[in-house]
Amino acid sequence: MLRLTVDEGSQGQRLDNYLIRLLKGVPKTHVYRVIRSGEVRVNKGRASADTRLHVGDVVRVPPVRVAERPDTAPAPAREFPVVYEDEQLIAVDKPAGVAVHGGSGVSFGVIEQLRQARPGAKFLELVHRLDKETSGLLLIAKKRSALVALQDQLRARETGKSYAALVIGAWPAGRKVIDVPLHKFLTGEGERRVRAVEPGHDEAKRSITLVKVARRFAGFTLLDVTIKTGRTHQIRVHLAHEGHPIVGDAKYGDFALNKALARAPAHFGRMFLHAQRLRFQHPASGEVIELEVPLPAECEAFLDTLPA
């Protein structure tokens, strides 16, 4: 029988999420079963899955069998370029090709590597996510209170998130708003994909993307893209739906052109999508924080090869 005292890092967390993180390897269905049965106690009383924990609460956890997992090497410790950091949060400039967390065939990501690099940190959690292929600004909370506050802002769309995206073709100057529902589904191979659908589709979610032309090149357009909703693959699918897929997009792009660019003298082999600006209210002070990171060197070098 485990008796655990809730520390500051778990302040405000739901009981089910607390146990799921604690009991790695235990199926979620079993975690919910022991909660419903009353075997899990908080301060000696029964508690529901959505019970919020507070500093000093004592959680009693019954013995559970953890599924044996093959031995895997720990994530290698790695720091990432820090754009902003204080006692509440970290903003890093994530490189393309690095997942933000392990899972779906990926052993580890930014968060696991950062935890290894900072073993003394009591709390490090992703505030939001970026696709593996996308570079740019990524927020990580150092306190649960900061995590909750920042995620609340994201849900309320009170943050400003802008991306640089290089698309194929000449983007129409008058096309500034894309308001097209998106439907997330799994392919027959179990791969997560997203498609644009007609309004009224039963499982689709309204998705809004704002687009502004930043620079024009022969055969390409650099866009400044702001999302008003945060759907999976939203920018990639919306731009492809408009007939202007992102350069280097291996899921929704022009596959023949992607291969040609990777073989060309520029050897550009990544997706040209970069989270360049982020605005939010500081979770402790309320101050408006505005962050910006430049395009990665390989993206700037590729633009230099394109004729105007």
Please identify every residue annotated as catalytic. 131
CA distance 151 to 58: 26
Buried b / exposed e across 126-143, counting CB within 10 Å, b at 16+?
Answer: bbbbbbbbbbbbbbbbbb
CB 286 within 8 Å of CB 279: no
Over the range 32-52, which residues count as b (16 or more CB within 10 Å of their CB) and which as e? Answer: eebbeeeebbbeeeebeeebe
| Cα dihedral 222, 227, 228, 233 in deg (nearest 10) | 130
223 Cβ contact partners less than 8 Å away, ≥ 6 residues apart = 164, 165, 166, 167, 171, 211, 212, 213, 214, 239
**Residue from 232, 298, 236, 221 nearest 267 by CA:** 298
The DSSP annotation for 39-54 comes to: -SEETTEE--TTPBP-
Whole-number Å distance between alpha carbons of 69 and 191: 23
